[in-house]
Structure 1
Amino acid sequence: MRHIVAVRAPCYSWWSMGSCRRYYSFIKRSQTMKLAFIGLGVMGFPMAGHLQQAGHQVCVYNRSSAKAADWAARFGGTSGATPAQAAQGADMVMVCVGNDDDVRSVIYGDEGVLAGIKEGALLIDHTTTSARLAEELADAAGKQGVRFIDAPVSGGQLGAENGALTIMIGGHEADVAEAAPVLAAYGKKVTRLGPVGAGQRCKMVNQICVIGAVQGIAEGLMIAQKAGLDIPTMIDVLAGGAAQSWQLENRAQTMADDKFDFGFAAQWMHKDLGICLDEAAQQGLKLPLTEHVHQVYERLLEQGMGRCDSTVVIRDLKF
């Protein structure tokens, strides 16, 4: 028993990916959990697949039943006709949908998760939402004896497919410690930031930092291209200095090549920045850069570029 308690130590950022996955392998051999995953978009589809491949019994729900059937055929799990049906009997229920209203639509009501989830289960929301929604869900779940953590992710579709997401969590320490080894199936870094809502606020900071880097790269590329610099050489040089970033190394060349048919959609970044600005207003803060880039996305969406990669901001500089 002493060994099991030690192994169940929280899988926070200070615990290496290797340690976390070794622990997860132990849990997989000793305990198969019944899980539900609600939402099979570009992120949820592979995330739910990793859980099933890790040895758990996963039941999924998606608004498109064909997508759920495809997932079940590919990974061997099952699907439910409603969120409530998928959640029945599950030890943990993961949700990954679009926005605050989408989350509410699958959580509440006669067919929502809370109508089917068992007492004592753990509800985990991976959707990027407002912190207020996270606190609302924690309260609603708690009234039914259900625990809740907010756990937005970063790493994009590629990170989800490779099981290498960064997961930012808000919730009680014991709940996070219980969830962490399960989330290790698709998370390379699983970190508790504080109480419920802290995960969402951390994700807001993440998005603000990302768009700051992207906007800076876009403006820098305008000078580089006008001056006739060799873009690949320039990126290689900058990647070895203080300007180094994931965005620079992975998106600067595609931005220069005007390629945006992949990645994290501009419409979702626009949504996320709106959440950031709402939080800032609640805190009595002004975020000039975030406000500016939010307006840039507004213009791009009006021009039909909502599904382009979020780095499409460079096109706004070319008009």
Structure 2
Amino acid sequence: MRLGFIGAGRMGRPMARRLAEAGHDVRVLARSPEARSALEEEGLSPADGLAEAAAGADAVVVCVFTDEQVREVCLDGGLLDAMPSGSVLVVHTTGGPRTAEDVAARAASRGIDVVDAPVSGGPHDIAAGRVTVFAGGADEAVARVRPALESYGDPVLHVGPLGSGQRVKLLNNALFAAQLGLLADAVRLGGQWGVEESVLLGALPHGSSTSRALSGVVSRGSVAGFASSTRDFLSKDVDVLRKVAADLGGDLGALDAGLATLAAALTPSSKE
């Protein structure tokens, strides 16, 4: 497939690399000479602007950080105007379903399909080709971009119509974040009972309480260490979750307490 790629950062660059390695023709947006050189060194084809990245593309992948950046690129930056009729826009950014729907409404007038496809995992998962993709969109649109998504995604899950990818990803994030909050409370309680955090983290992975959240904390040696290393992403995702819950309605229930505990753990201490 001929692909445009917008957002070759921490998550996007290994995606673009996997796409190229799979034989796709990928043009990656690069706004500076330094970025162009870095992409070329990795065997990727840089594009000077959105129009060049999108020209003649079968699909364009957007992997920026926030909803606002998705709107800026797709609605204000002219990306949709540069994409050919019949192409597909894939949005990997975790955000609100409303953004995907607003972009799709504009895209439909140009004959462009939109697939919201947030991912679960990190750069190491992408590099290994095992990041989870939650894809929302029309059956035909998802089928058309599946060969590209499978370059780095396994599994690629079609979870429903447009916006479903964001809903499922936010629910995934809510549960993960709440589990981290609960783990922070478990460590606190352990300390009150005289159980050191290192001892607890060495024991829990062997019990029924094990989880990906626990594995992440164990890899960093402490809840505080994991929270510090992932603060930007976790804070952003929890903020999006709360905004979407307010927008779409629904009761967070027991998740709310875990999220509140995590928020406290994400607050930088005076020692940092």
Relative to the length of structure 1, the TM-score reads: 0.76
CA contact (8 A) 1:231 1:253 kept: no
Q: Quick one: which of 268, 278, 281 aligns to 2:243?
A: 278
How far residue 73 of structure 1 moved from its aligned partner, in angstroms, is 1.9
Gaps of 5+ in 1: 1-32, 306-319
The separation in 2 between residues aligned to 1:78 and 1:297, in whole angstroms, is 41
How far residue 241 of structure 1 moved from its aligned partner, in angstroms, is 3.2
1:35 counterpart SS class = strand
The separation in 1 between residues aligned to 2:37 and 2:207, in whole angstroms, is 48
* Aligned-pair identity (%): 32
What per-residue deviation string (whole Å, max 9, x for no partner) do you get for residues 7-55 of structure 1?
A: xxxxxxxxxxxxxxxxxxxxxxxxxx11111001110010000000111
Q: Quick one: which of 30, 52, 55 aligns to 1:88?
A: 55
The separation in 2 between residues aligned to 1:256 and 1:122, in whole angstroms, is 42
Structure 1 segment 75-114 matched on structure 2, within 5 A: 76-109=43-76, 111-114=77-80
Indicate yes or no: 2:22 matched with 1:54. Answer: yes
What per-residue deviation string (whole Å, max 9, x for no partner) do you get for residues 82-118 of structure 1?
A: 1121111111100000111111222234x53212111
Structure 1 segment 112-191 matched on structure 2, within 5 A: 112-191=78-157
How far residue 229 of structure 1 moved from its aligned partner, in angstroms, is 3.5
CA contact (8 A) 1:96 1:126 kept: yes
The separation in 2 between residues aligned to 1:219 and 1:240, in whole angstroms, is 19
RMSD: 2.6
Indicate yes or no: 2:234 matched with 1:269. Answer: yes
How far residue 230 of structure 1 moved from its aligned partner, in angstroms, is 6.1
1:272 counterpart SS class = helix
CA contact (8 A) 1:273 1:294 kept: no
The separation in 2 between residues aligned to 1:98 and 1:137, in whole angstroms, is 16
2:154 counterpart SS class = strand
Taking a change above 3 Å as real, the CA distance of residues 304 and 143 of structure 1, as seen in their structure-2 partners, is: farther
Taking a change above 3 Å as real, the CA distance of residues 98 and 88 of structure 1, as seen in their structure-2 partners, is: same
The separation in 1 between residues aligned to 2:203 and 2:226, in whole angstroms, is 24
How far residue 81 of structure 1 moved from its aligned partner, in angstroms, is 1.3
2:155 counterpart SS class = strand
Taking a change above 3 Å as real, the CA distance of residues 224 and 252 of structure 1, as seen in their structure-2 partners, is: farther
CA contact (8 A) 1:128 1:152 kept: yes
Q: Quick one: which of 214, 226, 239 aligns to 2:180?
A: 214
**Greater mean deviation of Cα atoms: 273-282 or 52-61:** 273-282
